[in-house]
Structure 1
Amino acid sequence: MKALLLAGGLGTRLRPLTENLPKPMALVGNRPWLEHLIVNFKNQGIQDFVLAVKHYSNEIRNHFGDGRSWGVNIEYAVEETLLGTAGAIKNAENLLSDRFLVVNADIIHEVSIMPLLDYHIQHKGIVTIGLTEVEDPSQYGVVEQNGSGKILRFVEKPKRDEAPSRRVNAGIYVMEKQVLEWIPKNTEVSIERETFPLLIEKNIGVYGTTIQGYWMDMGTKDRYRKLHWDLLDRKFSLPLQEKEQDYGIRIGEGTKIGSGVLFVPPVLIGNEVHIGDRSVIGPYAVIGDRCEIGHHVRCSETIMWNDCKVQDAAQLKNCIFGYGLELGSRHILHEAVMNRTAGGMKG
């Protein structure tokens, strides 16, 4: 079975971090999320992938190539124009197997695929939608199901006390290829708002089952922070390359730490990082590979991507830095989101 990863979205709500980067390539725990996703599925037995790409597709192609470095096979379906979620699936039709997995590649999760596949085979429908339960369903499209799990309708952003359930689309599907007969070619089509409701109306067989494990839509800066704090708090058990030196303190290879440096856990420090004397790092600090932190720096509740430089005596709290950002000495920044390539800062 092939896995189709939808990786062509703009990621507008994460700008400026995604100004020149596909959202699934945003770093999570110091590695691109799309890399984590492919490795996770490979460990569950999936070897063949199709990546649906559009915006800054070369960033993905250059990183993964044909997949052999990860022990998998990767093919690409490139959108020349915006096609929406269903249109992107239709665009990959010639590369897909008779039964295939579809995953929104910007959703953060740790999902076991086999229970979803087993349920799909059992009910003999043509689509199984992975569902997740949320506390507040008023921000999502909520499903109503019958006793066998068949989806009867979607209710878009219902009032909290009027929602038929708390189950929402998790962005993970098992599909039979005949679904593609219901999607027009070269047309922008939403699978959530158009294709699934059409299939339900025609009574073709759309089922849903609740997935187990961590799930987070990282589409906003607040959620992006939250998933990292969950990672550091071990609520999200993503495998990390950095080794734990002490409880809650993970440090990568080749990192040099000055005298008197204080780590306040939890923290995650990447490879080949330099941290100057008497700096205080943490709590809740994620520092990417090859970053240089000056002397007497204070850094907490902050995520820093690779190759950043922070000069002496700077103070950072609740910040997110994109690749290669340089911050002068004695700067004080709270709740900033910055990216050098985007040339700007947003709170």
Structure 2
Amino acid sequence: MKALLLAGGLGTRLRPLTENLPKPMAPVGNRPWLEHVLLHLKRQGIDEFVIAVKHYPEIIKERLGDGRRLGVQIEYSVERSLLGTAGAIKNAESLLSDRFLVVNADIVHNMSILPLLEFHLQHKGLVTIGLTEVEDPSQYGVVQQDSTGEILCFIEKPKRNEAPSRRVNAGIYVMDKEALQWIPKNKEVSIEKETFPLLIEHRAVYGTKVDGYWMDMGTNERYRKVHWDLLDRKFPLPLNEIEQDTGIWVGEDTQIGSGVLFLPPVLIGDEVHIGDRSVIGPYAVIGDRCVIGKHVRCSETIMWDGCKVHDAAQLNNCIFGYDLELEARHILYQAVMNRMTGVVQG
């Protein structure tokens, strides 16, 4: 069975971080999230992938190529114009198997796919939607189901005390290729607003709860939450770095100066240089090849690869994109969004 990864979204809510980057390529734990998805599904026995791309496809192709480096096979379906979620699936039709998995590649998750597939094989529908339970269903489209798991309707953003359930679409589906006949070609189509309601009318859509971590990382706040959950191991994502002490992960060829204090949890990438008497953490994620000056204070901050921080800078509650240099005159970075530098904070 092949997996189709939907990676063509614009990631507007994460800008400026995703101004020149596909949203699924935003790093999570110092590795592009899309790469984590491939490896997560590979561990569950899926090694053939189609990636639907639109926004900066060359970045994805350059990083992942044909998948050989990761031990998988990758083909690409390129959207020439915006096609929406269903349109992107239809666009990839010729590359898909008769039954296939669809994963919204900008949803952060750690879910088991096998129960979803097993449930799909038990009913006569064309689509099985993986469902997750959320604390506040008023922010989502909530499903109403019968006792067999058939989805009767989606109720969009119901009042909390009026929601029929707390189950929402997790962005993971098993689909039979036959379902694609309901999607028009070369047209922008939403699977949630158009295709699923149409298939529900024909009693072809079922849903089942899938267990495991789930988070839409579409905002700065949620992107931070994903990382804090990762550091707390609520989100048990495999890390390349070695845990040298409880809650302190450090990568290869990293140089740590005299008197550096780590306040866990912290994650430090490869080839990082940290200057004397800097204090890192709690809740700090520092990407590969970053250079941290002396007497720097860095907490509740995510820093992508290649950043340079000058001496005595104080970083709190920040997200920094790739290859940024924090000038010495900028002593305190906090609660500011600066589109010119790509610094996102607060």
Q: Which residue of 1 aligns with 2:53?
A: 53
2:128 aligned partner: 128
User: In structure 1, the residue corresponding to 2:90 is in which secondary structure?
Assistant: helix
1:344 Cα shift?
A: 4.4
Q: Distance in 1 between matches of 2:312 and 2:292?
A: 10
Q: Does 1:309 align with 2:289?
A: no
Which letter maps to 1:239?
P
- The 8 Å contact of residues 320 and 337 in structure 1, kept in 2 or not, is answered as no
- SS state of the match for residue 4, structure 1? strand
Q: Find the residue that maps to 1:154 and give its secondary structure.
A: strand
Aligned to 2:115: 115
Report the Cα distance in structure 1 between the residues aligned to 2:96 and 2:239, rounded to whole angstroms.
31
Q: Which runs of 5+ in 1 are unaligned?
A: none
Conservation of the 8 A alpha-carbon contact between 1:100 and 1:174: yes
Partner of 2:227: 228
Tell whether the 8 Å contact from 1:319 to 1:337 is kept in structure 2 after alignment: no
Work out the CA distance in 2 between the residues paired with 1:345 and 1:150: 45
* Counterparts of 2:297 and 2:265, CA distance in 1: 15
**Gaps in structure 2 of 5+ consecutive residues:** none
- 8 A contact 1:283–1:301 mirrored in 2: yes
Q: Would you say the 8 A contact 2:320–2:342 is kept in 1?
A: no
Measured after TM superposition, the shift of residue 328 of structure 1 is 1.3
**TM-score normalised by the chain length of structure 1:** 0.98
How far, CA to CA, are the matches of 1:47 and 1:327 in structure 2? 41
- Matched with 1:141 is 141
Q: What TM-score, normalized by structure 2, do the two folds share? A: 0.98
Residue of structure 2 equivalent to 1:263: 262
**Residues 231 and 279 of structure 1: CA distance in aligned 2, closer, same or farther (over 3 Å):** same
| CA-CA distance at 1:80 after TM superposition | 0.3
**What is the alpha-carbon distance in structure 2 between the residues aligned to residue 92 and residue 345 of structure 1?**
36
Counterpart in the other structure of 1:254: 253
- Pairwise CA distance, 1:124: 2.5
Take 2:127 and 2:294, find their aligned partners in 1: how far apart are those partners?
56
Code of the residue aligned with 1:283 in structure 2: it is: P
For 2:104 and 2:156, the matched residues in 1 are separated by 19
- Other-structure match for 1:272: 271
RMSD over aligned Cα, in angstroms?
A: 1.0
- Give the partner amino acid of 2:106: D
Cα distance in 1, alignment partners of residues 249 and 344 from structure 2: 29
Q: Find the aligned partners of 2:301 and 2:265 in 1 and give their Cα distance.
A: 12
Alpha-carbon distance between aligned partners in 1 of 2:135 and 2:112, rounded to the nearest angstrom = 22
Return the offset for 1:345: 4.2
Aligned-residue offset at 1:23: 0.3
Alignment of 1:17-166 (within 5 A): 17-166=17-166
Deviation (angstroms), 1:123: 1.3
Q: Residue type matched to 2:27 in 1?
A: L
SS at match of 1:165: coil
C-alpha separation between the residues in 1 aligned to 2:150 and 2:24?
30
1:243 aligns to 2:242 (yes or no): yes
CA distance change for structure 1 residues 346 and 301 in 2, over 3 Å: closer, same or farther? Answer: closer
Taking the aligned partners of 1:324 and 1:250, their CA distance within structure 2 comes to 22
- What count of residue pairs does the alignment treat as equivalent? 344
The residue matched to 2:45 in structure 1 has which SS? coil
Separation in 2, partners of 1:319, 1:335: 7
Which digits, 9 at most, give the CA deviation of each residue in 1:173-217, with x for residues without a partner? 0000001000000000000000000011122x2000001000000
Distance 1:171 1:92 in 2: 17
Q: Deviations over 1:70-97 (max 9, x none)?
A: 1111000000000000000000000000
Aligned match of 1:289: 288
Give the CA deviation at 1:14: 0.3
Query: Following TM superposition, where does structure 1 have runs of at least 4 consecutive aligned residues deviating by more than 2 angstroms?
Result: 335-339, 342-347
Q: Aligned letter for 2:257?
A: G
Quick one: which amino acid aligns to residue 224 of structure 2?
R
Matched, 1:210 2:206: no
Q: Distance in 1 between matches of 2:200 and 2:269?
A: 47
Question: C-alpha deviations, 1:209-251, integer Å up to 9, x for none?
Answer: 0010000000000000001000000100000000001000000
Secondary structure of the corresponding residue to residue 21 of structure 1: coil
- What secondary structure, in the 3-state scheme, does the structure 1 residue paired with 2:147 have? coil
Letter in 2 for 1:206: V
Q: Distance in 1 between matches of 2:29 and 2:124?
A: 38
Secondary structure at the aligned position of 1:301 is classed as strand
Q: How far apart are 1:334 and its partner, in Å?
A: 1.1
User: 1:17·1:338 contact (CA, 8 Å) conserved in 2?
Assistant: no
